[in-house]
Amino acid sequence: MTSPRIVVIGSGIAGASVAFGLAARSAAVTLIDDAMSGQATAAGAGIIAPWVSSSDGAYYETYAAGGAFYPELLSRLSASGITDVGYRRTGAIVVDRDPSRLAEAAVLVRERAAAAGAVAGEVTELDPTRLRRACPPIDPEMSGLLITGGGRVDGRMLRDGLLTAAAGSGAELVRDSVVGLTASGGSSWSVATASARVDCDAVVVAAGARSPEILGRLGHRVAIAGQRGQLIHLSLPGANTGTWPTVHPLGHHYITPFDSGRIVIGATREDGTGFDVRPTAAGLRQVLDDALAIAPGLAEATVLETRVGIRPMSQRDNRLPFAGRITDASGLWLASGFGAGGLTMGPLIGDAIARDILGEPAPEIAALQP
């Protein structure tokens, strides 16, 4: 039996996960990406701790399922020779100066951690002294709630690891821009790039915030809008930051420590900016002000770099991403709209789409729908 030929458009976390899931199951995969700036995966903070998020409903259920999938993902990558994607389970801490606000948040976090089981780990209250021991730059007036199962991953390393593993299983990676997508009878497709044409049995559009543009050429409208996110990478030379937990105030910003003194702070959530990937003075000021309000000990850190990504934001009322078949176009699939949750949800949903394309039973995920 001939392996199905599948084209995946986009090499962010969604496209890389689909390609790995397909190639590992012996499908003939061609992944096409033009390497344009602004990929959300390349700028992501890499937090894997869904239990501390403010999301709810079906979105949270999908988010939590993505977090629970990580042990399996890491095992599969390791079996493919990819042993380091910058992942570490260092814990996640919810912080606030007001003990009553923190106690209120703790009720939901404990409930979620109990439901998630071992993957979420234990929940422990930290007084200011213990909190600063865990993360020294934190404001001494802060108290915290530690979830030991929280982790972080380097988005670029994870993406590259998935692509390397996919290529090791026979996937072809093409750096080119898609200029046309045509149904060529039945469920067959023809994908035209700037320099070639690829015929295939199925297409997965996983091009992040640019997915609506690609589908729009076929007359399909999808409610996804770009949102700019600006982050700053800092350095604290000599600090053992690799063991520090991620830090989450009761808001949208965060602090993500990595190895070798590197700390990521962010992020802005800017709607209506299109594909403008410039770091702006106002955006960077917001990021720094937010971080220093939580952790004044970062004031003397060195600014290493800024990163800007365009998140694909689902415009559905429930914020669920678009993941599954395009109902009126046989052989056409979509994986986008993950918002700020791509590095958590993307691997699970990408693998589920690969299973579904190949006719294998896929997990019941709320987001996996037309």
Average pLDDT, the chain: 93
What is the pTM assigned to this prediction? 0.95
Model confidence over 95-145: pLDDT tens digits? 999 999 999 999 999 999 999 999 999 999 999 999 999 999 999 999 999
Report the residue count for the chain: 370
CA dist 345 and 148 (Å) reads 20
| 116/2: higher pLDDT | 116
Q: Using 50, 70 and 90 to split pLDDT, how confident is the model at 329?
A: confident
| 138/4: higher pLDDT | 138
Radius of gyration in angstroms for the set of CA atoms belonging to the chain, rounded to a whole number: 21
First to last CA, the chain: 28
Q: Residue 241 pLDDT more than 60?
A: yes
The alpha carbon of 235 is separated from its chain's Cα centroid by a whole number of angstroms, namely 23
CA dist 346 and 322 (Å) reads 11
CB 295 within 8 A of CB 245: no
Model confidence over 145-157: pLDDT tens digits? 999 999 999 999 9
Section 77-83 average pLDDT: 97
Delimit the domains of the chain by residue range. 5-42+156-223+317-365, 89-150+225-314
CA dist 251 and 254 (Å) reads 8
Q: Using 50, 70 and 90 to split pLDDT, how confident is the model at 369?
A: low
Cβ count within 10 A of residue 83: 10
Section 21-41 average pLDDT: 94
Three state DSSP letters for 272-297 = CCCCCCCCCHHHHHHHHHHHHHHCHH
CATH no. of 5-42+156-223+317-365: 3.50.50.60
Q: Using 50, 70 and 90 to split pLDDT, how confident is the model at 52?
A: very high
Three state DSSP letters for 108-148 = HHHHHHHHHHHHCCCEEEECHHHHHHHCCCCCCCCEEEEEC
Q: Using 50, 70 and 90 to split pLDDT, how confident is the model at 29?
A: very high
- Percentage of the chain beyond pLDDT 90 is 86
Q: Residue 370 pLDDT more than 50?
A: no
Closest CA to 33 of 41, 22, 25: 41
Model confidence over 297-326: pLDDT tens digits? 999 999 999 999 999 999 999 899 999 989
pLDDT at 362: 77
Q: Using 50, 70 and 90 to split pLDDT, how confident is the model at 251?
A: confident
- Percentage of the chain beyond pLDDT 70 is 98
Closest CA to 357 of 339, 336, 338, 331: 331
Classify each residue of 14-47 as buried b or exposed e, where b means 16 or more C-beta atoms within 10 Å of its C-beta. bbbbbbbbbbbbebbbbbbbbeeebbbbbbbbbb
Model confidence over 258-276: pLDDT tens digits? 999 999 999 999 999 999 9
Model confidence over 161-205: pLDDT tens digits? 999 999 999 999 999 999 889 988 767 999 999 999 999 999 999
Q: Residue 363 pLDDT more than 80?
A: no
How far are the Cα atoms of 6, 34, 247, 257, 345 from residue 237, in angstroms, in the given order?
46, 36, 19, 13, 32
How far are the Cα atoms of 38, 39, 52 from residue 56, in angstroms, in the given order?
28, 26, 11
Say which CATH topology domain 89-150+225-314 has.
D-Amino Acid Oxidase; Chain A, domain 2 (3.30.9)
